[in-house]
Structure 1
Amino acid sequence: MSKATNHAILLLVFANLLASFSDVSLKVLNGEVPTFQYVFIRQLLSVLLLLPFWLKLPRETQMQGGCRINFLRAQFILVGSGCAMIAITHLTLATANAMFYVGPILMLPLSVILLKERPNKGKIIATLIGFLGVLIVLRPEHFHWAAIAGLGSALAMGVGNILIKRLSDDQHIISTLFWTSIMTLPLALAFALPQWAEIEWRHVGWIMAINLFVLGYHALVVIAYKKAPASQIALAEYSGLVFVTLFGVMWFDEIPDVLTLIGIALIVVPMMPIQWKKWLRLQRSEASHKQAL
């Protein structure tokens, strides 16, 4: 595996750590802010945070993110964010994220259809194992209507990530994030107005925290998916499932049962089999060298 691919995988792992902190913050909100009001406020805060950095860019660079592909991607992000809030509010963090991680599974066939990529047999097998793990986590007795929202979020985010590949390689990350945030506002406001409610400043504080984590996530995702083919690195997205499971145990007493842990293991274990094989070969080589001495 190339250095660029390894670097992209590390970026995705860190991105998913930030996304996990975002999920924890969203869980603390506990649905106290209407779904699309939350999305609108979060995206508006994103625009305000990014505006000073965007204004410092050259005029030509500023306009790079205002393209049709980025507009389409923004709408998928909007829908995905609303669905994610519903899922996290009503499901445990581990179960909700098991639904979100159908996204990387969907990205493999999507990368084949939309980007004409050709994943190898190992990636296909690992993806199928991951899908089996999701089915084990979401068994009939754990099914909740909010799981449908989780699946909707997974599909929306998966397509949004695939569309990154259609963006220009030299498009500035600040311009991309700024225009993505701007383009979500009209539809988010239209959905938010019918259920607009009074909120407290602590809600705004949590939304700001979520916003910072999400901005960091999207920035790292854009960089990662431009460094390597989607089919080679999408499995690294599963790392977030480990993070949210641990955080659920630590902060919300959401202790997963044995079958859930088995399902999570099936999702995570196949993530980087090539690196594990290399590590095992290295360990054997070092052990043989020591015996020879």
Structure 2
Amino acid sequence: MSLPSKISTHADERSARLAGIGLMLLGVFMFSCGDALGKYLVSTYAVGQLLWLRACAALVLLSPLIWRQREAFFRIERPTLQAIRVLLSTLEVAAFFLATVYLPLADVTTYYLACPIFVTALSGLVLRERVGWRRWSAILIGFGGVLIALRPSAQTISWPAMIALGGSLSFSVLLLITRLLRATPDIVMATSQFVGTFVMGALMSPFGWVTPSPRSLVLFAAAGCISVTALICVNRALKLAPASVVVPYQYSMIVWAVMFGIAVFGDKPKPATILGAAVIIGAGLYIFLRERKLGREEMAVNPPA
């Protein structure tokens, strides 16, 4: 390969990684919006009802794209792995919102912010991605910031907490499988996940059904639209960049958790929360700058073929 071609290839790879990071940040923000909205809704309605109506709205929103790309659904790669991914996605969403019925949103978020640790540990084994000691250090520092900010409560051994932890593990494996299936079209990935939650929600919703008001129907529809945007952003991020690069940016959840806590639930952040958020942001920026530096170094030292 000629030098210009190699430079172009490295530049494209670096741009893809940076785009993946940006999409992950946007996806995390949208998920945080949906999480806050979902917790608000499950204070009145059953979790199954949230899953079903949220999935209904998402599938209606996606229907034009599903029809336009319908042929892609008949050429799905690795169907067994796709089915496992849908199952994990469905269980993860149900576990998250079920846990928020009994635990504060911040506590549930604590468990999910452990995902970068799980993903980084597994990405070397499952995806054969190289994770250097600097990135490991930044990830561990970022997780330390999470502990400073949220200070897990004495409820860490409760059943709701175990449900949240199980959801976190499911989400971690889901992210790795998404990376493995990155050749699958975005619309197929998103649709299959919402079909899974639609089925589970339909099975669960008759238990504890509460007839929603018109205002609540609007909120359910908004939850579906938000989840579509978030899911597509995260799936695309995992296609563009290695999981160990983009997943640590889930730490930005704590920033949004603090902001939504103030704006929606009237929570006042403690000094420890502010300090932890600063540590998390610093660790994330370090990983981002490290990626840029590595990209430049590769372009400079790799000789032409």
TM interval, short-chain normalised: 0.7 to 0.9
| Cα shift readout 1:72-130 (whole Å, capped 9, x = no counterpart) | 11221212112221344444443332222112221111212321222111111122223
Structure 1: distance between partners of 2:76 and 2:43: 32
Equivalence map 1:80-95=2 (5 Å): 80-95=92-107
Cα–Cα, structure 1 residues 29 and 65, in superposed 2: closer, same or farther, change >3 Å?
farther
Among candidates 118, 131, 134, match of residue 130 of structure 2: 118
Partner of 2:33: 21
Alignment partner, residue 150 of structure 1: 164
Distance 1:120 1:143 in 2: 31
- The aligned amino acid for 1:51 is S
Helix, strand or coil for the counterpart of 1:181? helix
Q: Does 1:220 align with 2:233?
A: yes
CA distance in 2, matches of 1:12, 1:276: 16
One-letter identity of the residue aligned with 2:108: A
Work out which of the residue numbers 247, 258, 274 in structure 1 matches 2:260: 247
Residue 133 in structure 1 maps to residue 145 in structure 2: yes
* RMSD of aligned Cα (Å): 2.6
Q: Is 1:44 the equivalent of 2:56?
A: yes
Instruction: Tell me if the contact between 2:31 and 2:230 (Cα under 8 Å) persists in the aligned partners.
Output: yes
| Partner Cα distance (1:241, 1:63) in 2 | 40
Aligned residues: 277
Mapped partners of 2:122, 2:236: distance in 1? 19
What is the SS of the residue equivalent to 2:181?
coil
Query: What do residues 161-215 of structure 1 show as CA deviations (whole Å, max 9, x unaligned)?
Result: 111122152x221122122222343333333334444333332221211111111
Separation of aligned partners in 1, 2:271 and 2:162? 23
Once the two structures are superposed, residues 249-274 of structure 1 have per-residue CA deviations (whole angstroms, 9 ceiling, x without a partner) of 12321112223333333333211215
Gaps of 5+ in 1: 280-293
Residue number in structure 2 paired with 1:271: 284
Who is 1:72 aligned against?
Answer: 84
Q: Return 85-94 or 44-53, whichever deviates more.
A: 85-94
Deviates more, 1:30-39 or 1:257-266: 257-266
Tell me the secondary structure at the aligned position of residue 180 of structure 2.
coil
Identity of aligned residues (%): 23
The DSSP-based 3-state class of the residue aligned with 1:16 is: helix
Counterpart position of 1:166: 180
The verdict on how the C-alpha distance between 1:184 and 1:132 changes in structure 2, with shifts beyond 3 A counting, is same
- Counterparts of 1:278 and 1:222, CA distance in 2: 20
Give TM-score scaled by structure 2 length. 0.80
**Cα displacement (A) at 1:231:** 0.8
Q: Which runs of 5+ in 2 are unaligned?
A: 1-12, 293-305
Change over 3 Å in CA distance of 1:148–1:265 after alignment to 2? farther
Distance in 1 between residues matched to 2:152 and 2:35, nearest whole Å: 22
The 10-residue stretch of structure 1 (7-16 or 80-89) with the greater mean CA deviation from structure 2: 80-89
Counterpart contact for 1:40–1:192, Cα < 8 Å: yes
Structure 1 partner of 2:194 = 181
